[in-house]
């Protein structure tokens, strides 16, 4: 098993035409059962004047209206606790996994026993992608419990016969102890937590060369796709860092980078993925950035048909050097359309601020984007708050350089506030980058 290049060679290198045939078969199965067994989907289909048999090709799926998170929330409030899109029978329910609720009321998701098995299998595939092999000591610093990433990667470790340390996103000192003994070889966490662990490692005077850790994969929030952040994680922990992406409504670990680092590979046999132009609703051309819209092809319990993720990326089906045929998103997730900041006519994303902040060695990894109101003028003020690495850093000299860097990236100049080290709260989970104190 260990010498194999792919976790599941047949499916991962399937010809595109065969893969698309498989997707179509699964899509028809899914549409039919949702139409017959879910009043939620049946109403939506009828409203759009569509029957499952009208979808004759993968491209036809564009005619089905997308489902937003707000619609799921409304449906679950009106028909608690799971809404009328539960398609699996009660006896087949396996696990409950609500969304984190970081952007509002959590949405409940159920996995059937088969869904849990499928998730473990594709997660093992996505971990194999970035080089995890049997015998690896996997330090799993993704949160366990209700947040699904911890569980799915744990199950995948069992499948791959890894030695897993289910520490979760806590106990930073213990994380470092386990790097030393038993000597974890793989770390999974959010990128902000990885940076936090790296800071502590340096403070304890331990060189990354003295720990056996060799690779890590980081997801749950943006960051790893930012080259400067990735390099900081790689240097700080002495590893090769890879990007991971998923979302609770669809699946925690539905894409990861392979060792080529050529973008996120999707598990297209389980999830049909589209990039959609938000203004026109049309499908994007290959390479064009759009909102990712996802459809469950195998999910039994609470299937999503055209879930509007709000996350932005491009797609390509160009063959990757690794030999896998499944579509990729080069450069990873480019932002959440929810997080877009409009300031003095310019539009930008926190990830762009991160790119600039992380390119300054004099600054720590923490930053915030604070939005306030100038009460005199009634206009917005956007301030990027950062921390200097030490007392020796000359803020007066740094300020104009930082403003220039931000201006070049964002096409607008925010205010800048350089604070002493440790002024901003560290996080072991998802970092909250935007603080909105505007008078509404
Ligand atoms: Zn690849």
Give the Cα separation of 425 and 352 in Å (integer): 21
| Helix, strand, coil percent values for the chain (each to nearest 5) | 35, 25, 40
Q: At 96, list the tokens.
A: 């409950």
pLDDT average, residue stretch 128-149: 93
Confidence of residue 8 (pLDDT cuts 50, 70, 90): very high
Neighbours of 371 (CB within 10 A): 16
Q: What are phi and psi of 126, to 5 degrees?
A: -70, -30
Question: How many angstroms separate the alpha carbon of residue 196 from the centre of ligand 1?
Answer: 29
Question: How many angstroms separate the alpha carbon of residue 42 from the centre of ligand 1?
Answer: 38
pLDDT surpasses 70 at 350: yes
Question: How many angstroms separate the alpha carbon of residue 324 from the centre of ligand 1?
Answer: 6
Question: How many angstroms separate the alpha carbon of residue 305 from the centre of ligand 1?
Answer: 27
How many helices (H) and strands (E) the chain has is answered by: 11, 20
User: How buried is residue 360: exposed, middle or buried, by Cβ count under 10 Å (0-12/13-18/19+)?
Assistant: middle
- For the chain, give the mean pLDDT: 93
Contact, 385 vs 424, CB < 8 A? yes
Neighbours of 3 (CB within 10 A): 5
Question: How many angstroms separate the alpha carbon of residue 316 from the centre of ligand 1?
Answer: 11
CA atoms within 13 A on the CB side of 363: 29
Question: How many angstroms separate the alpha carbon of residue 21 from the centre of ligand 1?
Answer: 21
| pLDDT of amino acid 379 | 83
Contact, 128 vs 167, CB < 8 A? no
Question: How many angstroms separate the alpha carbon of residue 256 from the centre of ligand 1?
Answer: 9
pLDDT surpasses 90 at 2: no
pLDDT surpasses 80 at 431: no
Q: The pTM is what?
A: 0.85
Question: How many angstroms separate the alpha carbon of residue 113 from the centre of ligand 1?
Answer: 30
Question: How many angstroms separate the alpha carbon of residue 261 from the centre of ligand 1?
Answer: 7
| pLDDT of amino acid 102 | 61
| pLDDT of amino acid 186 | 98
Q: How many residues are present in the chain?
A: 440
Question: How many angstroms separate the alpha carbon of residue 10 from the centre of ligand 1?
Answer: 15
| pLDDT of amino acid 55 | 97
Dihedral angle over CA of 87, 103, 242, 290, nearest 10: 80
Question: How many angstroms separate the alpha carbon of residue 190 from the centre of ligand 1?
Answer: 22
**Using one digit for the tens of pLDDT, what is the confidence trace for 194-242?**
999 999 999 999 999 999 999 999 998 888 888 888 999 999 999 999 9
Residue with more model confidence, 2 or 68: 68
**Using one digit for the tens of pLDDT, what is the confidence trace for 270-315?**
999 999 998 899 999 999 999 999 999 999 999 999 999 999 999 9
Question: How many angstroms separate the alpha carbon of residue 8 from the centre of ligand 1?
Answer: 14
Question: How many angstroms separate the alpha carbon of residue 5 from the centre of ligand 1?
Answer: 11
Question: How many angstroms separate the alpha carbon of residue 327 from the centre of ligand 1?
Answer: 9
pLDDT average, residue stretch 90-97: 95
Question: How many angstroms separate the alpha carbon of residue 84 from the centre of ligand 1?
Answer: 38
- φ/ψ region of 332 (left if φ > 0, alpha if ψ in -120 to 50, else beta) reads left
Contact, 273 vs 327, CB < 8 A? yes
Question: How many angstroms separate the alpha carbon of residue 178 from the centre of ligand 1?
Answer: 30
Distance of CA 425 to the CA centre of its chain: 22
Give the Cα separation of 276 and 178 in Å (integer): 43
Nearest to 389 by CA among 428, 369, 430, 360: 360
Contact, 359 vs 228, CB < 8 A? yes
Give the Cα separation of 164 and 175 in Å (integer): 13
Question: How many angstroms separate the alpha carbon of residue 317 from the centre of ligand 1?
Answer: 11
Question: How many angstroms separate the alpha carbon of residue 166 from the centre of ligand 1?
Answer: 28
Question: How many angstroms separate the alpha carbon of residue 361 from the centre of ligand 1?
Answer: 31
CA atoms within 13 A on the CB side of 378: 0
Question: How many angstroms separate the alpha carbon of residue 373 from the centre of ligand 1?
Answer: 46
Q: What are phi and psi of 156, to 5 degrees?
A: -65, -35
Question: How many angstroms separate the alpha carbon of residue 434 from the centre of ligand 1?
Answer: 33
Confidence of residue 411 (pLDDT cuts 50, 70, 90): confident
Q: At 361, list the tokens.
A: 């060695």
Angle at Cα 39 formed by Cα 33 and Cα 42, nearest 5°? 65
Q: At 181, list the tokens.
A: 């003994």
| pLDDT of amino acid 101 | 66
Nearest to 197 by CA among 168, 226, 160, 225: 168
Dihedral angle over CA of 217, 219, 225, 228, nearest 10: -70
Question: How many angstroms separate the alpha carbon of residue 111 from the centre of ligand 1?
Answer: 28
Give the Cα separation of 34 and 45 in Å (integer): 10
Q: At 362, list the tokens.
A: 């004099």
Question: How many angstroms separate the alpha carbon of residue 310 from the centre of ligand 1?
Answer: 24
Question: How many angstroms separate the alpha carbon of residue 257 from the centre of ligand 1?
Answer: 7
**Does 364 sit behind a cis peptide bond, omega within 30 degrees of 0 on the bond before it?**
no
pLDDT average, residue stretch 409-421: 92
Q: At 350, list the tokens.
A: 């926190």
pLDDT surpasses 70 at 104: no
Nearest to 193 by CA among 245, 237, 156: 237
Element (H, E) at 272: strand 271-276
Q: What are phi and psi of 110, to 5 degrees?
A: -115, 140
């Amino acid at each position: 098993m260990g010498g194999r290049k792919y976790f599941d060679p047949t499916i991962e290198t399937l010809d595109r035409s065969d893969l698309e045939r498989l997707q179509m078969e699964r899509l028809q199965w899914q549409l039919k059962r949702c139409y017959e067994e879910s009043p939620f989907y049946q109403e939506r289909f009828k409203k759009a004047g569509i029957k499952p048999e009208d979808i004759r090709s993968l491209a036809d799926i564009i005619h089905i209206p997308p489902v937003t998170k707000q619609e799921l929330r409304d449906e679950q409030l009106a028909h608690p606790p799971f809404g009328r899109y539960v398609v699996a029978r009660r006896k087949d329910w396996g696990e409950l996994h609500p969304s984190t609720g970081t952007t509002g009321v959590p949405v409940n998701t159920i996995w059937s026993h088969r869904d849990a098995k499928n998730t473990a299998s594709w997660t093992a595939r996505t971990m194999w992608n970035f080089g995890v092999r049997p015998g690896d000591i996997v330090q799993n610093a993704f949160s366990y419990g209700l947040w699904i990433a911890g569980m799915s990667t744990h199950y995948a470790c069992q499948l791959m016969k890894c030695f897993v340390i289910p520490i979760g996103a806590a106990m930073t000192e213990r994380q470092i102890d386990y790097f030393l003994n038993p000597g974890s070889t793989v770390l999974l966490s959010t990128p902000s937590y990885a940076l936090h662990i790296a800071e502590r490692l340096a403070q304890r005077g331990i060189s990354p060369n003295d720990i056996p850790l060799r690779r890590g994969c980081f997801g749950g929030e943006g960051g790893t796709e930012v080259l400067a952040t990735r390099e900081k994680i790689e240097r700080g922990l002495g590893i090769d860092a890879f990007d991971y992406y998923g979302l609770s409504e669809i699946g925690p670990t539905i894409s990861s980078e392979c060792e080529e680092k050529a973008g996120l590979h999707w598990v297209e046999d389980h999830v049909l993925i589209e990039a959609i132009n938000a203004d026109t609703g049309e499908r994007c051309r290959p390479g064009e950035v759009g909102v990712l819209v996802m459809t469950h092809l195998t999910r039994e319990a609470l299937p999503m048909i055209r879930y509007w993720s709000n996350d932005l990326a491009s797609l390509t089906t160009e063959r990757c050097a690794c030999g896998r045929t499944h579509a990729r998103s080069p450069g990873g997730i480019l932002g959440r359309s929810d997080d877009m900041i409009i300031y003095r006519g310019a539009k930008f994303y926190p990830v762009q601020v991160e790119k600039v902040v992380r390119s300054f060695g004099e600054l720590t990894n923490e930053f915030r984007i604070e939005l306030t109101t100038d009460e005199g003028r009634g206009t917005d003020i956007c301030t990027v708050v950062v921390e200097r690495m030490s007392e020796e850093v000359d803020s007066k000299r740094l300020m104009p350089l930082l403003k220039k860097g931000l201006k070049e990236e964002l096409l607008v100049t925010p205010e800048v506030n350089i604070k002493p080290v440790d002024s901003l709260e560290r996080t072991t989970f998802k970092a909250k980058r935007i603080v909105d104190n505007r008078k509404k």
